Amino acid sequence: MWISDKGISSFKIYQDMFPIITGVLNALVVCEEKNNNSPFIFLILDSKIKATDILSFIASGYNNYDTKLKVMEYNKARNAISILQSNLILLNNYKILLDEDLNENYTNLEDKLKMISGVLRKIEKLKN
């Protein structure tokens, strides 16, 4: 990953989330290639969108100076993580996503969900 000491790529959460999202996207591309005619292709496409949304919401929160808007964007990122995890479970249930891809990506996403929750707790403490 290209990293700068300025802007979003210098933000720790973004740096940590980026390789996880690229890993999820890589797994989803494989799913898409193998299951192009599947009735569940919509779920693969939605998962790709949710994965990119996570990084977008983190970037949007990072760039917001308004605390309420910052919190709202980080909560959107948390929600997108949970939706993506749910999609991955469904894809695995229908044998579209391999067990090892589910386990690795689900766990990695869960770890970062906790990281974002920690940031939100710090923001709440600063507000009070």
pLDDT in tens, the chain (128 residues): 556 677 888 889 999 999 999 999 999 999 999 998 999 999 999 999 999 999 999 999 998 889 999 999 999 999 999 999 999 999 999 999 999 999 999 999 999 999 999 999 998 888 76
Helices (H), 1-128: 12-34, 41-62, 67-93, 99-127
Residue with tokens 């090892």: 100
Residue 9 is predicted with a pLDDT of 85
Write down all domains in the chain, each with its CATH number in brackets.
9-127 (1.20.1440.60)
Residue 127 is predicted with a pLDDT of 73
Residue 128 is predicted with a pLDDT of 67
Q: What is the per-residue burial (b if ≥16 Cβ within 10 Å, else e) of 96-105?
A: bbeeebbeeb
Residue 3 is predicted with a pLDDT of 61
Q: Look up residue 55 and give its DSSP letter.
A: H
Q: CA–CA separation, 83 vs 51, rounded Å?
A: 9
Looking at residue 38, its amino acid is: S
Q: Which residues contact 48 (CB under 8 A, 6 or more apart)?
A: 25, 28, 32
Residue 10 is predicted with a pLDDT of 85
